[in-house]
Chains A and B, each alone.
Chain A
């Protein structure tokens, strides 16, 4: 069962955390709000965050995720996933190597190892605003100018950023890292920054894939990384209104784990939830895998406390809906750190579901799957999650199959394959798989299952079991780790996403794939690129589509530039096909050039006007979104 697995993962996280050495400069703060009350509010003890201040002790400094979890080639030349955190940990995947050789032309003889860990001498010296630092010291707000800490907060996880970590160094990194412990600390820091003309770049979980936390290269003022990770308290849960008030620095896994202890959940599960923070979700308009039941971040948020250079912006009431002119929440959501920092959020919670069940459906072709998802959306009977993988991704999923524990499993697999390919006439080179996650009471889940499978059968789909479904979701977590293995063998890869109306969904998938393929040929990439997509969310009026694209750059000298050029072509194609600039990754710096086309001159001007009012001195100067002219 998935629930169990998740809990075991969580347990390991806790264990990892207790092992982490305590830092001397940490200041223990007790929370005054945490005393229990009798007005339906549930109180929480404060707990140290899972990810420590010295993130590099637990996390990779130049790749995705935990240090102990990575793909390796073992002594037999088989791909193996290390560590013990994940279900895949300690397993070998016998088909994976062959898959990698066959699809992207990986050769074990051609390696591209990363540079050794960077040390102080390699890292740019900090720009210091001494007055700001001494004031900070007086106010007893913890900070550091340790070079590793600064480097770790200089980047997110775009291909370009990780490649820089593996091969070089950023021209500009934060000069100081501060760790506010509360909303009030943030107010103080922002005030000081305004007084001393210091740039603040809010930093949550550091999982951005839009270049949002990167420092603008031309910035001459001191840049301070405002790391919210210590603001991780759940202040209270209001059972009467089913709202949890949390500090914005809490990360997804901690939030869900701690709520679960009291029988609640938010149900917000972006793929990055192990590391990403509540404040980051708000600032980027995040979307979670289970939004069909729980909603996206804009549906979940009830109240936001937002510290800006002009002061604190918040609503005076905490109501389910309001008509009060322009919705200030919608300035904060998607502001991407350009207007201020999110400090506290009241978010809806739900009781933990009684039953959780995976499922999957096999379709003869991707097209049938899209039609089925459209119908499911039309009938508004989508389960917590429904995703459709194309054939390339299905094949990748199959390649990820661990060495089976028992002979029986593979025997059953054989029968299934025989049934689907021989009896039903599905072409293994064309079939497509939808993965499902149901949540609710036993009866609700049973009813949902029945309805979804019935619709699927109308589109030629066959139920293909819980295992395939679960493997599909596992793939999401694992694919980020896999990129790091690719890096070792001349592979550059990245994902990007969009949202699109239903009538254009299939055409968009086909056209973007064709465009990617064509642009690769044009740039003389010698090996076949890996191009795959999946439909990951369904809405009344359209869907979210996720592309994964990578290629083998042996023989080419500037892979990142080539990758970015091609991704830009793909984005142009997406926009021409009726898709959007982004469904949930956001704009950051990476997609700035498309913002004007998306919102128009007036839209952009309005955004700039808000920025100019709230932050005339550009204290929140991360250069995202509408600020400055987009760099082309």
Chain B
């Protein structure tokens, strides 16, 4: 008889061995594709689940339905009445709108596209991880209720990956609400349309006819659940790897059929897509500095083929639990309010609109919750605060420290358990060798970027672009720390010995208002968020509370300092925006000059550049138009900036008293450079005297 091993039931007797195909809750779906025929995979028969009340329809029938619908008929009548145009002409317009909009999902085209796509994906990514359990839930739900897929949006690859995953798991392919920009692309425009993309205009405010066709087109597909419907709640691709504030239009159009009781429920599935390395990183960096994005064209995409030789690491796709709109709205809305008018006429109630806003925020917060944080994000966060370079030993120590706190705050970090921290950090540095390099002394430094021809030779912009690329990755974990940082910032800025909790909360609220565009805060959770953050800080980070007061001396420590410093660039950016607005505040007619937001942002950027050149400030990030523009909009929401419409365009002007107040409050959180009372107006180069208030 053979000698039995220690544990016969263990196949691989090596505790260090970790499967990379199955990693925690994730499964790599590229693995199979690397070992069997792609063509066979693309041509195989797919056994797809369908919605229980679905009636099979062709694309033509969907269009017929839209044109015959009460809603569209009603809109056409209204338009005829208001515009005096002949009915035929309005119907002609209606059909044009519909043709422009509709997708043309064809399995044939998809299969062809899939062969191409899978090869690209294999070339770009090491692994594509999907949480299989999430997929099983989607599969079960598809049969029961209509499905809305709401992925996060940080790369063009998001919707390709979504369709790929659905194709892989034999799920019905989603139809995707895409912005018009894509339609202009010759071949890809066509291909995407045939793969299920339908095109909607970015804004169509008052166009009644467009609104009717769009609403009916979307809603009929939801009610019959011809396909799962996919769209981005953030509205557009995030250039900063942070989530954008949600938009509500598409969400409310899609969920209206539930409120109007056309269907029993709708399942919203938030999907978080995390990239180790974002394909558009360089493009984004320049865009944030104000170099315009190249118009999407086929040739640009082909040029992008150069990147096929690069390695973009792993992608993690997390399908969240299906969120039932029925359960979400229990006790919050009264659907019977729609009983007294035909369902195609009346709009949603205020209750319902509020609910949708809250839901939109929850979806984005769920995205964030299930984002997979890569070791590189941690590394980037440390690097941002050590731009001059940091030794490998120090870096690893800092990354480990940050990792521990991120985990304590609920982050999911993709950290292999069987590797040493040193190995992990080194391999992540290797993946991002276009941004950082290890020199001979084992010190890690930023690499200066090779400059594209259309960027000015300005040294400042060059290093800024390089720095912004790094900050994009740091941004991936900012949402984890933002709340504790808001408390930390207040503690660190406090000049007294003790700080009453009420004051702390007031400051927290102030900071939340300011940061509200750069980070996602649920509008109804301020108090709760505050309390949780305070708890975290007292449990883990040495913050001391006595008699409902913070003891400042013992509470100002490495933790609060690090967290505060993480967010300094944002506050500094806002401060620059404030100063820029204040400097232009006097006008001959007694009212500050109103300017389009873009112009104001650009001016603020010039002020940032000046301050940087003068060495008054160090954070290159304040050159980011995104931060400055978010600051401007936050100020608008705080009533420090007013908005008016001129020629249908938004114009903004400061509200000096409120703005000065905000600015003064901001200065308490920051070491700001002294800007002389007399400052040079960046635009006109004329000297003005700042108002004394």
Give me the interface of A with B, judged by CB distance under 8 Å. Answer: 503-504, 507-508, 510-511, 514-515, 518, 575-578, 597
Contacts and interface: CB of A to CB of B under 8 A. Distances in A.
A577 B53 CA distance: 17
Nearest to B337: A576
A511 B264 contact: yes
B264 A576 contact: no
Contacts of A577: 261, 335
Given A575-B336, A578-B338, A578-B339, A514 B265 contact: yes
Given A576-B335, A578-B336, A578-B338, A503 B343 contact: yes
A568 to B, nearest CB: 13
Nearest to A512: B264
Contact of A508 (B261, B342, B343): B261
Contact of A514 (B264, B334, B336): B264
A507 B338 CA distance: 14
A507 B336 contact: no
B263 interface: yes
Contacts of B264: 510-511, 514-515, 518
Contacts of A578: 261, 336, 338-339
A369 B53 CA distance: 16
Contact of B336 (A511, A515, A597): A597
Contacts of A575: 336
Given A510-B53, A597-B336, A576 B261 contact: yes
Given A511-B261, A576-B261, A597-B336, 11 more contacts: A503-B342, A503-B343, A507-B261, A508-B261, A514-B265, A518-B264, A576-B335, A578-B261, A578-B336, A578-B338, A578-B339
B65 interface: no
10 contacts: A507-B261, A508-B261, A510-B53, A511-B264, A514-B264, A575-B336, A576-B261, A576-B336, A577-B335, A597-B336
B262 interface: yes
A597 B334 CA distance: 10
Contacts of A518: 264
A508 B262 CA distance: 8
The 7 closest A-B CB pairs, nearest first, are: A514-B264, A576-B335, A577-B261, A578-B339, A511-B264, A575-B336, A576-B336
B339 A507 contact: no
A611 B362 CA distance: 49
Nearest to B324: A518
A122 B264 CA distance: 46
A576 B335 CA distance: 5
Contacts of A508: 261
A403 to B, nearest CB: 35
Most chain A CB neighbours (cut-off 10 Å) among B261, B265, B335, B339: B261
Nearest to B338: A578
Most chain A CB neighbours (cut-off 10 Å) among B53, B338, B339: B339
B339 to A, nearest CB: 4
Interface size class of B (residues with CB under 8 A): 10 to 19
A182 B463 CA distance: 104
Interface in B244-267: 261-265
Nearest to B344: A503
Nearest to A365: B55
Contacts of A503: 342-343
Nearest to B333: A576
A239 B338 CA distance: 48
B383 to A, nearest CB: 50
A431 B14 CA distance: 61
A425 to B, nearest CB: 14
A518 B265 CA distance: 11
B61 to A, nearest CB: 15
A541 to B, nearest CB: 12
B143 to A, nearest CB: 12
A167 to B, nearest CB: 32
Interface string B261-285: 1111100000000000000000000
A577 B260 CA distance: 7
A50 B336 CA distance: 45
A503 B340 CA distance: 12
B329 to A, nearest CB: 10
A523 B262 CA distance: 25
A578 B260 CA distance: 9
Interface string B310-343: 0000000000000000000000001110110011
Contacts of B262: 507
Interface in B51-89: 53
A508 B336 CA distance: 12
Given A576-B335, A576-B336, A578-B338, A511 B343 contact: no
Contacts of A511: 261, 263-264
A570 B339 CA distance: 17
Nearest to B334: A576
Given A510-B53, A597-B336, A504 B261 contact: yes
Contacts of A514: 264-265
Contacts of B263: 507, 510-511
A515 B343 CA distance: 21
A518 B264 CA distance: 10
B440 to A, nearest CB: 66
A576 B265 CA distance: 13
B384 to A, nearest CB: 49
Interface string B331-371: 00011101100110000000000000000000000000000
A511 B260 CA distance: 11
A504 B262 CA distance: 8
A503 B334 CA distance: 19
A518 B343 CA distance: 25
A576 B262 CA distance: 10
A578 B262 CA distance: 11
A518 B326 CA distance: 11
A102 B263 CA distance: 28
Contacts of B342: 503
A504 B335 CA distance: 13
A504 B264 CA distance: 13
B300 to A, nearest CB: 46
Contacts of B334: 576
A508 B260 CA distance: 11
Nearest to A577: B261
Contacts of A510: 53, 263-264
A507 B219 CA distance: 14
Contacts of B336: 575-576, 578, 597
B70 to A, nearest CB: 8
A225 B471 CA distance: 82
Contacts of A515: 264
Nearest to B52: A514
A445 to B, nearest CB: 36
A150 B264 CA distance: 45
B294 to A, nearest CB: 47
A577 B338 CA distance: 9
A515 B265 CA distance: 9
A507 B336 CA distance: 14
Nearest to B70: A503
A575 B339 CA distance: 9
A508 B335 CA distance: 13
A367 to B, nearest CB: 8
B327 to A, nearest CB: 10
B260 to A, nearest CB: 9
A432 B125 CA distance: 53
A555 B534 CA distance: 47
A514 B143 CA distance: 12
Interface in B459-514: none
Contacts of B339: 578
Nearest to A367: B55
Most chain A CB neighbours (cut-off 10 Å) among B263, B264, B338: B264
Nearest to A598: B336
A518 B324 CA distance: 12
A390 to B, nearest CB: 13
A396 to B, nearest CB: 21
A504 B53 CA distance: 16
Contacts of B338: 578
